[in-house]
Amino acid sequence: MGTILFHLLHVMYIIQDRIVGGYAPAPNSIKYIVSLQTTKGQHFCGGSLVHKYWVLTAAHCNIGTDEMMIVAGDYSLSMFEGTEQYSKPHRLIPHPLYNKTTNNADIMLIKMRVPMVMGSYVSLAPLPRQGTGVMAGRVCRVSGWGYTSLGEGQIPSTLRTVKLPIVSSARCNSSESFNGNITSNMICAGYNAGGKDACKGDSGGPLVCEGRVYGVVSWGNGCGDAKFPGVYTAVSKFRRWVDRTIYSSYTRCLKY
């Protein structure tokens, strides 16, 4: 009885200690993830490199061009590892339909001043095709430097990752959960029991399913709360907007 209780407490401790319930991936194994930092070097959001000049993130990570720095090739935020590449944003392009009350269309593209150089520590993230979905139950992975627990408010210095199943919009929108606040531009991922989730500071970061960034960390209810999965911007709904925005910036008429 004593040992069972001990094991139970131990398991609960692990779940509690890591509300996101994740672990540290191998250094530089997630090469498309970037850290968005203030010019003072404070991490505040994640993002994905989708082109050597472009980062995909959440619209609510918009703190203004002058305040922002993009760091690729990073793993430990507190250590200089020599693998990091830095760029200032040239232009921030939040989705025109972004609504900060409903969180609808919480997606943004950042054009960088200096392109990131692809290599052993930095690569591009593949995106899903327009309109494609992921089935409920499919296991995806979300990564970031966000809080490992909401209460303690700790930013971990090393990148963390956690595997989560996709939750159907019907269940996510049910009265026991988000009660109709999930739009068709959002997808949900998490366990009904909670314990594994993205959290504050993970926003803008990638939810990767089948090797593609299907979700951008957007919002939630607490972190890892039972019955409340994490809510992500459905990238496949914005694939055409992403392509149009990136490629039109290279034509004469629409110069970003």
Nearer to ligand ARG, 33 or 217 (CB): 217
Interaction of residue 51 with ligand ARG, rule CB under 6 A:
no
Residue 144 gets which letter from DSSP?
A: E
Which of 63, 177, 50 lies closest to 125, judged by CA? Answer: 50
- Binding-site residue total for ligand ARG (CB under 6 A)? 13
Round to whole Å and give the CA distance between 202 and 141. Answer: 12
Interaction of residue 203 with ligand ARG, rule CB under 6 A:
yes
Interaction of residue 217 with ligand ARG, rule CB under 6 A:
yes
- Measure CA 56 to chain center: 9
Interaction of residue 202 with ligand ARG, rule CB under 6 A:
yes
Select which of 48, 60, 169, 197 is catalytic. 60
Residue 65 gets which letter from DSSP?
A: G
- Minimum CB–partner distance for residue 247 and ligand ARG (Å): 29
Interaction of residue 201 with ligand ARG, rule CB under 6 A:
yes
Select which of 106, 143, 169, 218 is catalytic. 106
Q: CB within 8 A of 31, min separation 6: which ones?
A: 73, 120, 121, 122, 123
Question: Is 106 marked active-site?
Answer: yes
For the beta sheet containing 68-72, the strands, ordered from the edge strand earlier in sequence to the opposite edge, are 85-87, 68-72, 33-38, 43-51, 54-57, 108-112, 89-94
List 125, 209, 213, 223, residue binding ligand ARG (CB under 6 A): 223
Distances from the Cα of 156 to the Cαs of 18, 20, 197, 243, in angstroms? 11, 11, 15, 33
List 199, 207, 242, 246, residue binding ligand ARG (CB under 6 A): 199
Round to whole Å and give the CA distance between 23 and 17. Answer: 11
Interaction of residue 219 with ligand ARG, rule CB under 6 A:
yes
CB distance 45 to 61 below 8 Å: yes
- Minimum CB–partner distance for residue 120 and ligand ARG (Å): 28
Interaction of residue 128 with ligand ARG, rule CB under 6 A:
no
Which stretch of DSSP H or E encloses residue 7? helix 2-17
Interaction of residue 206 with ligand ARG, rule CB under 6 A:
no
Binding mask 139-158 for ligand ARG (x = CB under 6 A): -------x------------
| List of residues contacting ligand ARG (CB under 6 A) | 146, 197-203, 217, 219-220, 223, 230
Catalytic residues: 60, 106, 203
